[in-house]
Structure 1
Amino acid sequence: MKFLSWNIRGLNSPQKKFAIKKLILDMKIEICLLQEVKMPFQTFVAVAGKLWPGVDYLYVDALGASGGIATLWDPIKMKGKLFASSQNFLMVSLHYGEQWWQMFNIYAPNSRSGRRLLWEEISNIIVTNQKDQFMLVGDFNSPLYPSKKCGGLEDFSDSMGDLASFINASSLMDIDLQGAPFTWSSNRKDKHLIQVRQDRFLISTNWDIGHSSYLKTLPRTASDHNPLLLHWKDKPYQGPPPFRYEIMWASHLDFRELVRCWWTTLVQGTAMFRIMEKLKLISKEVKGWNRTTFGDIFKRKDLGSRLEQLHNIMATSNPPDPILKEEEDCHKSWKDTLSKEEVYWKQRSKIQWLKEGDKNSAFFHKLACIHERRNYIKIIKDETGQEISEDSLLGQNAVDFFTRLYADNGGSDSPLQDCLVSKLSMAINEDDN
Structure 2
Amino acid sequence: MNILSVNCRGCGQPEAVQELCLLVEKWPAVVFLMETRMGEERALGLQRNFGFPNAIVVKSEGLSGGLMLLWQRNVVVAELRDFNEVLLAEEQIGGNDREAWQMAAFKDAVNDCRLTDLGYHGLPYTWDNRQDAARNVKVRLDRAFGDNRFLDVMGGSEVFHVPLAESDHCGVLVETWDRDVFGSIKQQVKSLRAELEAERSSTLYQGPTDRERHLVATLGEVLAREETMERQRSRIAWLKEGDRNTAFFQAKARARNRTNRIKLLKDEAGNEFTDQDDLERLACDFYQKLFAAQENLQPELICRHVPRKVTPEMADVSERPFSEQEVEEAFFQMAPSKAPGADGFNAGFF
TM-score range, shorter chain: 0.5 to 0.7
1:37 alignment counterpart:
36
TM-score, normalising length: structure 1: 0.53
Residue number among 122, 137, 161 corresponding to 1:217 in the alignment: 161
Shift of 1:5: 0.8
Deviations 1:233-281 (A, max 9, x none): 1258xxxx9xxxxxxxxxxxxxxxxxxxxxxxxxxxxxxxxxxxxxxxx
2:329 alignment counterpart:
none
2:116 alignment counterpart:
173
1:346 alignment counterpart:
231
Compare 337-346 and 214-223 and name the one that shifted more.
337-346
Separation in 2, partners of 1:47, 1:418: 61
Shift of 1:399: 7.2
2:309 alignment counterpart:
none
- Give yes or no for the alignment of 1:55 onto 2:79: no
Deviations 1:47-87 (A, max 9, x none): 4444x2x33332111111111111223xxxx33xxxxxxxx
1:265 alignment counterpart:
none
Deviations 1:176-205 (A, max 9, x none): 122222211222233322222221222221
Q: Which runs of structure 2 are paired with 1:180-191 in the superposition (5 Å)? A: 180-191=123-134
1:361 alignment counterpart:
246
1:7 alignment counterpart:
7
Compare 12-21 and 203-212 and name the one that shifted more.
203-212
1:125 alignment counterpart:
none
- SS where residue 42 of structure 1 aligns? helix
- SS where residue 166 of structure 2 aligns? coil
Separation in 1, partners of 2:214, 2:52: 60
**What letter is aligned with 2:96?**
L
Shift of 1:9: 0.8
1:233 alignment counterpart:
177
Deviations 1:26-60 (A, max 9, x none): x443322110001111222334444x2x3333211
CA separation of 1:185/1:418 partners in 2, compared to 1, >3 Å: closer, same or farther?
closer
Separation in 1, partners of 2:46, 2:188: 55
Separation in 2, partners of 1:401, 1:169: 40
Count how many residue pairs are aligned between Structure 1 and Structure 2.
286
Shift of 1:219: 1.7
Separation in 2, partners of 1:69, 1:341: 44
2:84 alignment counterpart:
141
Separation in 1, partners of 2:117, 2:257: 15
Separation in 2, partners of 1:63, 1:356: 56
Separation in 1, partners of 2:79, 2:189: 32
Q: Is the 8 A contact 2:192 2:215 kept in 1?
A: no
Shift of 1:365: 1.1
**What letter is aligned with 1:46?**
G
- Give yes or no for the alignment of 1:19 onto 2:19: yes
Separation in 1, partners of 2:90, 2:125: 10
Structure 1 gap segments, 5+ residues each: 80-94, 102-133, 242-290, 314-318, 407-413, 420-433
Q: Is the 8 A contact 1:6 1:138 kept in 2?
A: yes
Q: Is the 8 A contact 2:273 2:279 kept in 1?
A: no
**Identity percentage of aligned residues:** 27
Q: Calculate the aligned-residue CA RMSD, in Å.
A: 4.5
Compare 227-236 and 326-335 and name the one that shifted more.
326-335
- SS where residue 149 of structure 2 aligns? coil
Structure 2 gap segments, 5+ residues each: 294-350
**What letter is aligned with 1:231?**
E
CA separation of 1:5/1:158 partners in 2, compared to 1, >3 Å: closer, same or farther?
same
1:68 alignment counterpart:
66
**What letter is aligned with 1:136?**
E
**What letter is aligned with 2:52?**
V
CA separation of 1:233/1:62 partners in 2, compared to 1, >3 Å: closer, same or farther?
same
**What letter is aligned with 2:225?**
K
Separation in 2, partners of 1:417, 1:200: 39
Deviations 1:101-156 (A, max 9, x none): 4xxxxxxxxxxxxxxxxxxxxxxxxxxxxxxxx63221111112333233333644
Q: Is the 8 A contact 2:161 2:172 kept in 1?
A: yes
Separation in 1, partners of 2:60, 2:84: 18
Separation in 2, partners of 1:165, 1:343: 29
Shift of 1:373: 3.6
Separation in 1, partners of 2:35, 2:289: 60
CA separation of 1:189/1:371 partners in 2, compared to 1, >3 Å: closer, same or farther?
same
Separation in 1, partners of 2:95, 2:257: 35
- SS where residue 101 of structure 2 aligns? helix
Shift of 1:401: 7.7
Shift of 1:232: 0.5
Shift of 1:417: 9.8
